[in-house]
Amino acid sequence: MGAPGLLDVLIVSLGSTAGLRSADEDLAGSIERAGASVAIARAIAPPQVRTLMLTDLLWARAARAAAQRSLNGPPQNAPRSIIYSSTTAALLWPRPGAIRFDAPAAGNRPGWDGLWQRPLERRRLAEAPLLLALSAGGLAEVPPAARTGGRSLVLGLVAEPSGPPAAERDIAAITYAGNPHKKGLDRVLEAWRELRSGPVARDGELLVAGAGPEELRAAGIALGEEPGVRSVGRLAAADYRALLRRARVFICAPRREDYGAAQLEALADGCMLVSTPAPGPYVALEIARRLDGRLIGEDLAGALRCALEDPAPGYADRARAELEPFTRAAVDERVARELLPRLLGG
Where do the domains of the chain lie?
A: 9-158+327-344, 171-325
How do residues 10-64 score in pLDDT, each as one tens digit? 999 998 888 899 999 999 999 999 999 999 999 999 998 989 999 999 999 999 9
pLDDT-based confidence at residue 95 (cuts at 50, 70, 90):
very high
How do residues 192-220 score in pLDDT, each as one tens digit? 999 988 765 456 899 999 998 888 988 88
- pLDDT at 346 exceeding the cut of 60: no
- Residue range 60-69: mean pLDDT, rounded: 97
**Residue 314 host element (H or E):** none
Fold classified for 171-325: Rossmann fold (3.40.50)
- pLDDT at 161 exceeding the cut of 80: yes
Do residues 250 and 174 touch, judged by C-beta distance below 8 A? yes
Cβ neighbours of residue 260 closer than 8 Å, sequence gap 6 or more:
254, 282, 283, 284, 285
CA distance 82 to 104: 19
CA distance 169 to 307: 13
CA distance 287 to 175: 18
Whether the domain at 9-158+327-344 and the domain at 171-325 fall into the same CATH topology: yes
Q: Check if CATH label 3.40.50.2000 holds for domain 9-158+327-344.
A: yes
Average pLDDT, the chain: 93
How do residues 237-289 score in pLDDT, each as one tens digit? 999 999 999 999 999 999 999 999 999 999 999 999 999 999 999 999 999 99
pLDDT more than 70, % of the chain: 97
Question: Measuring CA to CA, which residue among 309, 313, 273 is closest to residue 293?
Answer: 273
Give every strand in the sheet of 98-101, ordered side by side. 38-42, 9-13, 81-85, 98-101, 131-133, 152-154
- pLDDT at 321 exceeding the cut of 80: yes
